[in-house]
Structure 1
Amino acid sequence: MKLKYILPIAFIALFFSCSSDDDNTTTINEIEGLELIQTIINGNETIELYNEKGMFETGYNMISLRIKDNTSDTYIEDATLSWMPVMQMPTMQHSCPKSSIAKALGKDTVYEGFIIYQMTNTDGSGWSLTLNYNIDGTDYSVTETISVMQYENQNIASFMGSDDSRYIVALVEPKDPSIAINTMKVGLFKMQNMMTFPVVEDYTITLDPRMPGMGNHSSPNNTDLTFNNADNFYYGDLSLTMTGYWKLNLKLMNESDTVLKGEDVTEENESSSLYLELEF
């Protein structure tokens, strides 16, 4: 074959090779599987709040955030953020347990953390959320009202312990329970003051799941919940032998095994005063 034919063929092959590479370039959707809860506009920035349901509910809420620069229509990749949820009561106000906010693993524009709302008004009102953030050395802050709806079952309990301290225990997992031995994960927090709820470490939470509608029977192979230093949550095994409504009877015990709240389930005592609920 003559050179004058070889060169055009080579250029054509190179063109299609480059075109093919460009066609295979895909844009990653960093909020895939999440639903928008709310947008908060603060001057030149828009903060977007997401989770799996597209709403805030009482109990544990894992929340993803993005900050958009409205001028360039691009998302900020190097911000630092913090937040303060506040519930306005008739004569007082208080916050709730919350995490710090960090960059979501493997994502460029998404930040995440959790908030545990322990209560709400019947219409979902009463809460506000203050977001503080820093971009390129400049501090910003915005406060907006939010709606927090009541979760259908008791997935959180706020109570006074026998040590005269107020505690909050919240169910995190299982999110999708099944007839099996499920990993149970809860958060445990103590109210230091109206705005501060630190994690409680190294306590024990005993577990006795029962089905009140089925003779109050229990299940085998449950284990008590113990503290995990890796993520500051409590873990145990929850055995569910059938579908339906379960009352997860709990007892909270400190490092000295002193019971701070809750009772054993017996024939005379059908449930503990400390419990969470689950239905599937």
Structure 2
Amino acid sequence: MKFRYILPILLIILFTISCSTDDNEAPIINEIEGLIKVQDITNTTHTIELFNTTGDFRTGYNNVSIRIKEKASSSYIKNASISWIPMMQMPSMQHSCPKSEVTKSVGKETVYEGFVIYQMTNTDGSGWSLTVNYTIDGTDYTASSDIVVLQSEKQNTTSFMGSDDSRYIIALIEPNEPKIAINDLKVGLFKMKNMMTFPVVEDYTITLDPRMPGMGNHSSPNNTDLSYNAEDHMYHGNLSLTMTGYWVLNLKLINDHSEVLKGEDVTEDHTKSSLYLELEF
């Protein structure tokens, strides 16, 4: 066979092998795409990376993503068991806050996630610390650092005493991006058992009456009260927003014996419940 025929055949074979190799290579996946680093917490062995979608912690509901990087190899840990302890240091006492367990993010190998609800902070964002305890291949580690928690502009969480002499914390979770429509409303409800423990409250009812104080305190149609969802342990309802602006979500908390623990009906003479959350869009 003449050389002028062999050369094109060799080029075709090389091109085919190259394409086949490229096709078989797994794409590189950025497991923190869309997330912004808030802070690193370090010890002698690892760097704990904290992420969310805003790049800071604020009072209210915070969904947090975590990665653990081994300092020696710069590789990320895929098999850790993680727990955490947020703490608020006050002049005469300290306390924690509602938080979830930390679990592996769905579909990701090196990212773990959970939520923390900071119910208060100092004016300069100080006062809070976060301790991360974790186990890798049977070895226990811990890392701790002060963190900054900024005050949210609107009241997206509130801590209050119920008529049953129990302290509760309620926090707005969704909608993240309110719109003129019927929005899915989700809130978390927790009871303060002690300074460190805030279990989820199940099977209560939270009534909803949204109002616009700047527009004659008018309400909106097609709202529904919030009821407990056993799958995600949160309370869900429908929030009808008919125009942009500042809204007060007037609430009443009713226990499983139909007793009102906090909040009142909105009337012409009583324009705002003592239990409420805020949003503006």
TM-score interval, smaller chain:
over 0.9
Greater CA drift, 37-46 or 95-104 = 37-46
Letter in 2 for 1:138: T
Other-structure match for 1:12: 11
Cα offset, 1:154, TM superposition: 0.1
Normalising by structure 2, we get a TM-score of 0.96
Question: Are the aligned partners of 2:80 and 2:135 in contact in 1 as well (CA < 8 Å)?
Answer: yes
Alignment of 1:1-280 (within 5 A): 2=1, 9=8, 11-23=10-22, 25=25, 26-280=27-281
- List per-residue Cα deviations over 1:31-77 (Å, max 9, x = no partner): 00000000111112111000000000000000000001111111011
Shift of 1:8: 5.8
Question: In percent, how many aligned pairs have the same letter?
Answer: 65
Distance 2:10 2:116 in 1: 58
Q: Which amino acid aligns with 2:56?
A: M
Deviation at 1:236, TM superposition (A): 0.1
Structure 1 gaps of 5+ residues are none
Sort the Cα spacing of 1:255 and 1:35 in 2 relative to 1 into closer, same or farther, 3 A: same
Aligned-residue offset at 1:16: 2.1
C-alpha deviation, 1:23, in angstroms: 4.8
Q: CA deviation at 1:12?
A: 3.3
Cα distance per residue 1:81-123 (max 9 Å; x no partner) = 0000000000000000000000000001100000000000000
Question: 1:21 and 1:38 mapped to 2: Cα distance?
Answer: 42
Deviation at 1:140, TM superposition (A): 0.2
Q: 1:40 is aligned with what amino acid?
A: I
Secondary structure, in 3 states, of the residue corresponding to 1:224?
A: strand
Q: Following TM superposition, by how much is the alpha carbon of 1:228 offset from its aligned partner in structure 2, in angstroms?
A: 0.4
Query: Any idea what SS the aligned residue of 1:238 has?
Result: strand
Measure how far apart 1:17 and its partner are.
3.0
Tell me the distance in 2 between the aligned counterparts of 1:80 and 1:27: 25
Q: Secondary structure at the match of 2:224?
A: coil
- TM-align CA RMSD: 1.5
Contact 2:42 2:144 in 1 (8 A): no
Q: CA deviation at 1:127?
A: 0.3
Amino acid at match of 2:49: E
Contact 2:132 2:143 survives alignment (8 Å): yes
Residue 257 of structure 1 deviates from its aligned partner by 1.1
The whole-number CA distance in structure 2 between the counterparts of 1:22 and 1:50 is 35
Judged with a 3 Å threshold, the aligned counterparts in structure 2 of structure 1 residues 78 and 8 are, in CA distance, closer, same or farther, namely farther
2: CA distance between counterparts of 1:6 and 1:110? 54
Aligned-pair distance for 1:7?
6.7
CA distance in 2, matches of 1:50, 1:22: 35
Q: C-alpha displacement at 1:133, in angstroms? A: 0.4
State how far apart, in whole Å, the 1-side matches of 2:202 and 2:5 are. 74
Q: Distance in 1 between matches of 2:195 and 2:6?
A: 77
Report the secondary structure of 2:12's partner residue.
Answer: helix
The answer for unaligned runs of 5 or more in structure 2 is: none
In structure 2, do the counterparts of structure 1 residues 3 and 45 end up closer, same or farther at CA, with 3 Å as the change threshold?
A: farther
Q: Distance in 1 between matches of 2:10 and 2:259?
A: 80
Deviates more, 1:20-29 or 1:62-71: 20-29
Tell me how far apart the structure 2 counterparts of residues 178 and 247 of structure 1 sit (CA, whole Å): 15
Distance 1:279 1:187 in 2: 19
Cα distance in 2 for residues equivalent to 1:15 and 1:263: 77
Aligned residues of 2:172 and 2:187 also touching (Cα < 8 A): yes
Deviation string, structure 1 residues 145-175 (Cα, Å, up to 9, x no partner): 0000000100001000000000000000001
